[in-house]
Chains A and B, each alone.
Chain A
């Protein structure tokens, strides 16, 4: 999808919203929706922070690398990416419009002053812990104290809920990783990538940048140069990771770009389910987020990667919010491997994101399940790429876009089938729902088939909420807003099913919050 130019025809959105009937009238309020109060994660934390010098230069990169005490090869790797980045142009083909980003106006590294890792969770600054608590992240919950001997096991036994190990990233650095001991017992490596660089340099060196090459695209290259921290996961051969792994990203510092880098490797016949959650406080400046996620699945391995993203989307006038330019890619390197992306996108002012699968191994499987909700002035251009290289590779894409307010929601996807990918299969379903008459829903699938025995099928629909269904629900006594929520939930059901339990519940309430007001 190295496409350019894309949009020439833009709709002006001046004038009053047409109020056609009672439903739309409420719907329209929705549009006015997304008032700042609705964003429950929009508080910021006051802590002392160390910044790299503002702006981007070779010095910034050396500063970051030195701050993290990195080996020489990694510094070289960063510098090479930076050199490359200087020659690249920011892509313009996506259906998103945003003011020109001043790459010199950001801090590329911000770390809480007290230092990155804490021996015990009691050493984690109180403010950070409180932040995570407000977000409902189980860092401290159940007395799972990082580095506190014995606590992990006892706490773990006492829990009934499925357990989630959490790595929390606060601005640029990872502040705590829970359940580490227990994971170690299973042979699972789960730590911040900066630590992994020191503790498992061979693994990092072997896989870093092999799925998303340094020069892949403008934002990925930028990330390669300045990535601050992120998560590293390695599941050894034949191991089924005993719990869900999770990272919470939190952007706090002002004018800070966040450039985390995640690398997950599932060795032969390994399995892992990984959850990523994101929040950012409300700030007027647009914050820049350019992450890279690389997944590698070897023979018979399976990786399930779920994201719930509710970065600050900006206020209803489109002021502030996160610019989210993310490169996520999975490589089904081994035969019969499987990578499954599930995403619930409700936040960010601008989203540019195409979690993809390279189906290299024979009989490998790629899946993409997505719910993207836009409201207010949000713009999302998201989708996936399924690259079929191996024999009998299968992919499945289910995308549900919901546009409300004055937002634009674009599905952009590529299904490409190589000549050698005999009997490859793809099924794609893209549905768009429009709530109110000032938003836009767009579907741009690209299909490239070079294999006669492949079967590809794509279906797409664009509709508004059905008045018949709405009436039916209301006739049975369900309040309008609940009826809409019910219908929207029905609309996205196929995707919600693919989220881990706890996440599905969270996603459901997030959907409701995101559309609040837009439905009366």
Chain B
């Protein structure tokens, strides 16, 4: 088996060989095999794959190594939250779980449909588990009145994988936050959300890693009737970081707010990729992604709305991406895509890329604000717009983190 896989990946890199070995060490399981094959089909995703043309994991991650830098400090508040920790080899959960939440640490793997669309998600599903870590961690949420669930992914090591599934039952709601703090050479997590009707989730993602790490966070959500998902990402990137979200509107009246801010400094690469399928009539998507990039940094935005013929009628969807190249030497790549087969729809996207607006700069300076301060103010406000829908309990912290980065 293992040797067969070795042949399967063309010209495998040391990192890929190590991943194959890790797979070999997992218990045999046909679901696991299917997920791993979905990854092995291409190996680590690379620039010759359309969905990865600007984010090349194969080139960035030659070998699996433990990075020199330790994990970043978690800025998101732990008080009042149920905190779960993942490290490369461990998992910790609160001892007591309140009413309305059921956690199952599944040792075996759950089926992972759609693996071929998300090679790094498939890898996470195939390699999660082992040691003290569950192969699949499942949460069933039945209350609308729970404290925030906070997940921390940190700790040093070669690689860290996790798979978490949330089932949000009718009428329930969830406030979720995740901190990806780096420390592992490769971190890949996949989170799946199944929202039944009349449910809500507010998800916040904070990501900050080292310049020698690779990271992929894959989120897959299915929204039931009138379900509402709000997601806010603040990502500082890594050597390569891919924050990917795929959402399917499955029943009438679902609503999605999909926001992200990326801030890439020298040597950092941040990729925000989203795919939204309007698989049911009268669903709404509002998407706003903002980016600011410094000399030597890279920002990538790939967004796609897919509106099928029969089911996508009365779709109302808007996608905006706006990037600031703050210095010479910064680069931003964007692909905001619409694929539409239904006629009675309102779909729009916009993309701007460049420096701050001259008219705004002048207005501030006319009121007496010096140029540097005016620039900082506008940049902060620019980024803050994408963070405004985060839950009260984390929003200020996200804003402060963005501000600190911008003013340093």
Contacts and interface: CB of A to CB of B under 8 A. Distances in A.
B331 A450 contact: yes
Given A445-B351, A450-B331, 11 more contacts: A5-B50, A5-B51, A7-B339, A442-B340, A447-B335, A452-B330, A455-B355, A459-B348, A459-B350, A462-B346, A463-B347
A451 B339 contact: no
A198 interface: no
Contacts, number: 136
Contact of B333 (A93, A447, A463): A447
B335 A445 contact: yes
B8 interface: no
A6 B304 CA distance: 12
A116 B352 CA distance: 52
A497 interface: no
Interface centre among A7, A9, A93, A449 (most CB of B within 10 A): A449
B354 A456 contact: yes
B353 A434 contact: no
Interface string B264-291: 0000000000000000000000000000
A20 B353 CA distance: 41
Nearest to A441: B340
B351 A447 contact: yes
Contacts of A8: 117
Contacts of A419: 328-329
Interface string A100-135: 000000000000000000000000000000000000
B336 interface: yes
A355 to B, nearest CB: 20
Given A5-B49, A93-B50, A449-B325, A440 B351 contact: no
Interface centre among B325, B341, B348 (most CB of A within 10 A): B341
B371 interface: no
Contact of B48 (A4, A434, A439, A449): A4
Nearest to A453: B355
Interface in B304-357: 306, 308-309, 313, 323, 325-355
B256 to A, nearest CB: 18
A11 B308 contact: yes
B10 interface: no
Interface string A416-455: 0001000000000000101111111111111111111111
Interface of A: 3-9, 11, 13, 20, 93, 419, 432, 434-464
B53 interface: yes
Nearest to A27: B343
B345 A462 contact: yes
Contacts of B325: 449, 451-452, 454
Nearest to A446: B335
Top 9 A-B residue pairs of the complex, sorted by shortest distance between their CB atoms:
A455-B354, A452-B325, A434-B343, A458-B351, A456-B353, A447-B334, A462-B347, A443-B338, A440-B341
A432 B333 contact: no
Given A449-B354, A452-B355, A460 B349 contact: yes
A446 B326 CA distance: 21
Given A6-B50, A437-B344, A460-B338, A13 B309 contact: yes
B288 to A, nearest CB: 15
Contacts of A461: 347-348
B354 A463 contact: no
Nearest to A409: B340
B333 A448 contact: yes
Contact of B327 (A438, A452, A464): A452
Nearest to B54: A448
Contact of A449 (B332, B337, B348): B332
A420 to B, nearest CB: 10
B359 to A, nearest CB: 12
B50 A4 contact: yes
Nearest to A422: B328
Contacts of A448: 331, 333
Given A447-B333, A452-B330, A437 B343 contact: yes
A9 B355 contact: no
Contacts of A5: 49-51
Contacts of A449: 323, 325, 331-334, 353-354
Nearest to A417: B353
